[in-house]
Structure 1
């Protein structure tokens, strides 16, 4: 990740927020056969010290990723979007891409079957509880446990992270306002979630 001091995020709480709000993650592993990437939802362990996430992979992704054998990188991609130079103040400019991204590093710990069941139950419950009639894994436990046998659960205690929030820092208030307005209400490249991230930074 490019090291631009104005964009670097060092607060673990901000990284935790990013994980909560953007749980679809990319797991990247440098294996004996080369780089392998897989994509799964992750969940933050709220009561853990530091940053800890849990998830699962489907077999045989565990073997393809060499899960548990060495460090992996988990990419959390927050809101992002195109920023046109036409949204600036008329001075010469080039297009750019605003984004919020985190790279989390650690060696996965493989979970027991019961730990995996709990993680899967919690993960399903986390999303289903938004619905008027949640369809929980434990409602059909026999079927759920049969499906679970095709998965491998893991915990990643984050040993280090790199995070970046490129949100038009260093631009004038006029330019920042124009960019946020286009991202909130524009006809071509509206990204309201990205505009909200900009407000978090610029409205302090």
Structure 2
């Protein structure tokens, strides 16, 4: 993560929106076999906790509960060419949005996991046109069998480390050149964030 203070944000609502909109991230933790990573859907409870689930056979599943872990949510990113600046005697860089979350993890009970899955599927189904899928579309035995294949976790977020690297350290004319180039190249989400946040 870039250490420049211009790229930091203390806006918790913005952080929560990033988790909500992306909905997916990476969990890192140390295990007896060394560092491990898992990729998983994420849900912020809105009160300082992050919920996720892992396959029962995942290398992290047996070791993450009771320990600190790191979650990373990656937002839009794109290469930035110096030719988009008024002064091209600069080096290339990368603009990006990322959020690191760190804290202790506990394992959820089956009821908590079921509630998390219902909430998660409702969020994602609302983004798709047509009648929403709900778990009542499958039999209770089928759901119980599928539920047995995963383990739910909740992280108490002790540290929020956001980076919104959106050319804030550049003159307005350079930033506008980057925004226009990103829009032309199809990186509209990043260009939009540059317009709105920096």
Q: Please confirm whether the aligned pair reaches a TM-score higher than 0.5, indicating the same fold.
A: yes
Q: Does the aligned pair in 1 maintain the 2:36–2:60 contact within 8 Å? A: no
Corresponding pairs, count: 196
Unpaired runs of at least 5, structure 2: none
With over 3 angstroms needed to count, the CA separation of the structure-2 counterparts of 1:62 and 1:124, relative to structure 1, is farther
Can you list the C-alpha shifts for 1:111-156, whole angstroms capped at 9, x where unaligned? Answer: 1111111111111111112231211123214222210111101111
Counterpart residue number, 2:21 = 21
Q: Does the aligned pair in 1 maintain the 2:61–2:151 contact within 8 Å? A: no
Shift of residue 62, structure 1, vs aligned partner: 6.3
**Stretches of 4+ aligned residues off by more than 4 angstroms:** 62-65
Map residues 22-101 of structure 1 onto 2, 5 A cutoff.
22-46=22-46, 48=47, 51-61=48-58, 63-64=60-61, 66-101=63-98
Shift of residue 172, structure 1, vs aligned partner: 1.5
CA RMSD of aligned residues (A): 1.6
Q: TM-score, normalised by structure 1?
A: 0.90
Can you list the C-alpha shifts for 1:70-119, whole angstroms capped at 9, x where unaligned? Answer: 10000010111111111111430111000011110011121111111111
1:97 and 1:129 mapped to 2: Cα distance?
32
With over 3 angstroms needed to count, the CA separation of the structure-2 counterparts of 1:155 and 1:84, relative to structure 1, is same
With over 3 angstroms needed to count, the CA separation of the structure-2 counterparts of 1:27 and 1:155, relative to structure 1, is same
Shift of residue 2, structure 1, vs aligned partner: 3.4
Q: TM-score, normalised by structure 2?
A: 0.92
When structure 1 is superposed on structure 2, of 92-101 and 12-21 the one drifting more is 12-21
With over 3 angstroms needed to count, the CA separation of the structure-2 counterparts of 1:63 and 1:88, relative to structure 1, is closer
2:116 and 2:17 mapped to 1: Cα distance?
19
Residue 195 (str. 1) matches residue 194 (str. 2): no
Task: Identify which of 103, 115, 134 aligns with 1:136.
Answer: 134
2:2 and 2:88 mapped to 1: Cα distance?
26
Map residues 125-204 of structure 1 onto 2, 5 A cutoff.
125-131=122-128, 132-142=130-140, 143-186=142-185, 190-202=186-198
2:61 and 2:110 mapped to 1: Cα distance?
20
1:168 and 1:179 mapped to 2: Cα distance?
8
2:91 and 2:62 mapped to 1: Cα distance?
39
